[in-house]
Chain A
Amino acid sequence: ILNVEQSPQSLHVQEGDSTNFTCSFPSSNFYALHWYRWETAKSPEALFVMTLNGDEKKKGRISATLNTKEGYSYLYIKGSQPEDSATYLCAFIVSSGGGADGLTFGKGTHLIIQP
């Protein structure tokens, strides 16, 4: 079983502040890394799919970077808003040749934005 670590486990941030959190994963046999946002009472939704070392992706106020050589990805949220409150999951895929492996998820970072 692969080990995907996310830190911190939970985070309280004031509205308007920027924040970031980390996903660490095994650097060997890297295939892809996903970030998902999971709001309470909803299904997880994909934010980013990252495949190349040095990838930077952005969606509105949220961005992510990827370092496959050292095995980490950062997620950044600029100017946090209450609607950003959610659990953010990263998930890792190892290359198996078939490209059909399931994701190994981290336990998530639970983000609470305080007005």
Chain B
Amino acid sequence: DVKVTQSSRYLVKRTGEKVFLECVQDMDHENMFWYRQDPGLGLRLIYFSYDVKMKEKGDIPEGYSVSREKKERFSLILESASTNQTSMYLCASSFPGIYEQYFGPGTRLTVT
């Protein structure tokens, strides 16, 4: 079974803190993705990566950066957390092309 894990299920941070969200997958997938899910807005793509050290902006990259130093790990970084980044963050991975994505359990981040 494909497994995608995220470092925390719940996280509370203060405004201005630097926040790291970690995602690890064990299926040797080339592609990895970060989404955020907000009520009424659905899942929105923040960044994705199709190879180690490669990254592409998604629809809402502002305020975020990413890092992919190893194939199995994709990190989302909030350089200076703000309250409007309070959300559910979901990581996913897949093989390239049309293939389905496998999602992690999500991290509910609250920025106070």
Contacts and interface: CB of A to CB of B under 8 A. Distances in A.
A104 B90 contact: no
Give 6 closest A-B pairs by Cβ, nearest first. Answer: A46-B100, A100-B50, A107-B42, A32-B98, A43-B103, A102-B45
Contact of A102 (B4, B48, B100, B106): B48
Given A43-B106, A44-B103, A102 B42 contact: no
Given A43-B106, A89-B42, A103 B101 contact: yes
Contacts of A49: 98-100
Interface in A31-61: 31-32, 34, 36, 42-46, 49, 51
Interface residues of B, number: 28
Interface in B1-54: 4, 30-31, 33, 35, 40-45, 48, 50
Contacts of A44: 43, 90, 101, 103
Interface in A63-115: 89, 91, 93, 98-108
Given A43-B104, A102-B33, 4 more contacts: A49-B99, A91-B43, A101-B48, A103-B33
B42 A105 contact: yes
30 contacts: A32-B97, A32-B98, A42-B105, A43-B4, A43-B103, A43-B104, A43-B105, A43-B106, A44-B43, A44-B90, A44-B101, A46-B100, A46-B101, A46-B102, A49-B100, A51-B98, A89-B42, A91-B43, A98-B50, A99-B97, A100-B30, A100-B31, A100-B96, A101-B56, A102-B58, A103-B45, A104-B45, A104-B59, A107-B41, A108-B42
Given A1-B59, A43-B103, A98-B50, A31 B33 contact: no
Interface of B: 4, 30-31, 33, 35, 40-45, 48, 50, 56, 58-59, 90, 96-106
